[in-house]
Structure 1
Amino acid sequence: MTTSRAGGVSEPPYDSFNLGDHVGDDPAHVEANRRRLAEKIGLSPERLVWMDQIHGRSVATVDGPVSGPVEATDALVTTQRDLALVVLAADCVPLLLSDDAAGVVAAVHAGRVGARIGIVPRVLDAMVAAGASVSRVEAFLGPAAGGDDYEVPRTMQIDVETHLPGSATRTRRGTPGLDIRAGLRRQLLEAGVAGVAADPRETITDRSLFSHRRGSPTGRHAGVVWMDTTS
């Protein structure tokens, strides 16, 4: 699942369901929003696992609740039920992965930098090590900056396209752009995953979502993946 801006207690410019604790919002508001998220998915707050995201390619496998965010990582993998993995985003791609047959799920922060340096192959390897088969993995790409509006310098576009083919675009203004989700979709399918679904919403233009590019400071929405005890 993915969250939006609506339904929380944070005040502008973090209004209202900000889940990021690193963006300058009142910590009490973030804690209240995180409790609301836990209630929404039917788990206790300690069963949600958060990351200290650094735009890298480190992957952590977790087997139970942790105190505080998992340090310096951009992907989480688990085989434990009723343990929710959370990825925060505000233009970067929140990527959720699952092999239901093996009982392995993952949450990935796949921004431009992490996607370029190979966070997705790393997390697929970690899922396989936990018992998954890539041919059974289903992927979901959450809302993110889209190719029509994600404008970048031409040199950056060329560099990212070299490492993540399929991501280069032309923006609606006719300038060089990037669609990281398109590149990730191609990468996932070429790796052999069973299927890739995507949220059609684009963060830069959709004001129901947070966008760092549209205006900063701002909050963070979340992608959340978990297996319940009845599945």
Structure 2
Amino acid sequence: MGAGGRRAAAAARGGAARRRLRRGGRPGHPGLPAAQVAAAPGSVRARISNLLHDGAPAATHTAAGGAVYVSPQPGPEGAKVFFFTRLGGVSRPPFDSLNVSVKVGDDPDAVAGNISTIREALGGGPSAWVKQVAGDGVLRVTEGGFAGEADALVTSTEGLSLNVAVADCVPVALVGQDEVAMIHSGWRGTLAGISGKAAGRMAVGAKRAYIGPCIRGCCYEVSEELAGAFAAEFGDGVVSGRNLSLPGAIRTDLERSGVEVTDLGLCTGCRPDLFFSHRKQKPATGRSLAAVVKVGR
């Protein structure tokens, strides 16, 4: 097939995708299908009602646009924390439905619709994000937009949302007296102490961390070498055989830095129906957004 033929075929595929998205338009997002929350409310309500175990320090919410998220309960003073589930978006399997990444192979129009829905849930203000590189870099930001390569963001700007994308890695929100931080902590960043480093970049004063949905020791088996490295750095309690507790290691790291920790206790590996899990759903799955917004006290 020549170059002209390939362009025509690509245009035809794009037109077909757009026609599929136009079926069943979504209020506020012309051309996008209805959110899954609206499409099957009984089923979604049942899944949400079973999400939190008794005594979990969290609550579930459905935003006006349909996005379903989890937040700490009680919530922190001076900030709002959002851990979005995979529910309430428009992406089709295997990215159903609130996927925020175009890099995983999802339809860009669907991802744009999902991000718009999340932006509404966050209050419509500016957002800052990074190119996540699975490291321990921390960036301070004062305005919205792309901030560079890092895996943690810190700000003192009120109304600015700090965002990371996850699918098993640990989202950690830090709330201080005058600043907030959002962290994407994979095993490399956790071993390098990214959460403690982010806390150290914040102003002096009391801080509390909130550990969101992530893969946990029940579902995360690693090599003996990696398990040994974590045990040496964070103590034997973070491993059980070859099963590794990233939240346990992060808690140890933060408590060493004098940070109080609230762990929501939710496992992406146990509940891939509610959260994206790369390990349980690979090779193709979506990414969820986690965010923290500084607000007035």
User: Over aligned residue pairs, what C-alpha RMSD do you find?
Assistant: 1.5
Q: How does 1:65-84 map to 2 (within 5 A)?
A: 65-66=144-145, 69-84=146-161
8 Å CA contact retained: 1:166, 1:186: no
Q: 2:278 maps to which residue?
A: 212
Which residue, 200, 205, 209 being the options, matches 1:139?
209
The AA in structure 2 aligned to 1:224 is: A
**% identical aligned pairs:** 32
Verify: 1:97 aligned to 2:174, yes or no.
yes
8 Å CA contact retained: 1:75, 1:106: yes
Shift of the alpha carbon at 1:24? 1.7
Q: 1:58 maps to which residue?
A: 137
Cα distance change of structure 1 residues 166 and 107 upon mapping to structure 2, 3 Å threshold: farther
8 Å CA contact retained: 2:172, 2:195: no
> C-alpha separation between the residues in 2 aligned to 1:152 and 1:139?
25
> C-alpha separation between the residues in 1 aligned to 2:163 and 2:204?
20
The AA in structure 2 aligned to 1:48 is: S
> C-alpha separation between the residues in 2 aligned to 1:74 and 1:21?
18
Q: 2:246 maps to which residue?
A: 180
Which residue, 247, 262, 268 being the options, matches 1:203?
268
TM-score, normalised to structure 1, is 0.88
SS state of the match for residue 83, structure 2? coil
Encode CA deviations 1:143-192: one digit per residue, 9 max, x unaligned. 1111111011111110122233356333xxxx511000011112211211
The AA in structure 2 aligned to 1:105 is: V
Shift of the alpha carbon at 1:21? 3.1
> C-alpha separation between the residues in 2 aligned to 1:167 and 1:30?
39
Verify: 1:41 aligned to 2:41, yes or no.
no
Q: 1:168 maps to which residue?
A: 238
> C-alpha separation between the residues in 2 aligned to 1:162 and 1:19?
36
Q: Which has the higher contact order (CA 8 A, sep 6+)?
A: 1
Q: 2:191 maps to which residue?
A: 116
Give the number of the structure whose residues are more often strand, by fraction.
Answer: 2
Verify: 1:153 aligned to 2:232, yes or no.
no
TM-score, normalised to structure 2, is 0.69
8 Å CA contact retained: 1:15, 1:219: yes
Shift of the alpha carbon at 1:125? 2.0
Compare CA radii of gyration and give the structure with the larger one.
2
> C-alpha separation between the residues in 1 aligned to 2:258 and 2:174?
13
The AA in structure 2 aligned to 1:200 is: G
